[in-house]
Amino acid sequence: MKRITLLGVAMLATIAAWAQPTVTLLTFESYTFADQFDTQYGTGKIQDGFQWGAGLEFGLSETAAVELIYQNIKTDAYYQGFDGRYDGKVGINYAMLGGTRYAPLNDKISGFGSVDLGAAWSNPDSSLDSESVTKFAIGGRLGARIKASEKVSLRLHAQLLSPVQWAGGGFYFGTGGGGAGVSTGSTIWQFNLGGSLNFRIK
């Protein structure tokens, strides 16, 4: 996590030295759909819920930007393993660094797409009998930006976020080998629909 944070700071410092970017405060409000997953030890499900977040976008040009964002969801989850069922709440956090490309349709409306890389970490209740884990994460968004003024805009998006481990894995609940054995299995894909209200501060 520290390495990812340091990398993000270094990249943003490079951007600031290379250009004089615009800076926009992003606020995220989204509805995340439920996601079911399977592992070699059983099955589980992360329920739907409200996801919130915030971030900064550094505009390099009219059509390109770099962003640093944080998003969080706290919702119900369960895991059904060989040794029983575990129910509780889990928080999933994402800290992401990525790039955004805009495609202007007119002076007010632009289509956009983003690709993000970073880290995801969980905060499960003790009732899920699982420890907090941190994973590499990927994400992306497609949507539209509507400018209300030079300082205020609204973005509507469809977003996909995933904590992944290239050999397989993700966040898992239940004992199933004391935690060591459950690091392999399916990944989790969280899909949401929502938007961000944005305020240009520079």
String of DSSP letters for 100-151: EEEEESSSSEEEEEEEEEEEEEEEE-GGG-----EEEEEEEEEEEEEESSSS
The pTM for the full model equals 0.80
Is the C-alpha dihedral spanning 14, 16, 21, 23 positive or negative? positive
Q: What pLDDT, in 10s, does the model give residues 33-53?
A: 999 877 777 788 999 999 999
Backbone angles phi, psi at 17, to 5 degrees: -75, -30
Asked if residues 5 and 185 have their Cβ atoms less than 8 Å apart, the reply is: no
Q: Which of 49, 34, 55 is nearest to 189 (CA)?
A: 34
Mean local confidence (pLDDT), 81-92: 88
Three-state DSSP class for 7?
A: helix
Q: What pLDDT, in 10s, does the model give residues 117-155?
A: 999 998 888 888 778 888 889 999 999 999 999 899 999
pLDDT at residue 186 greater than cutoff 70: no
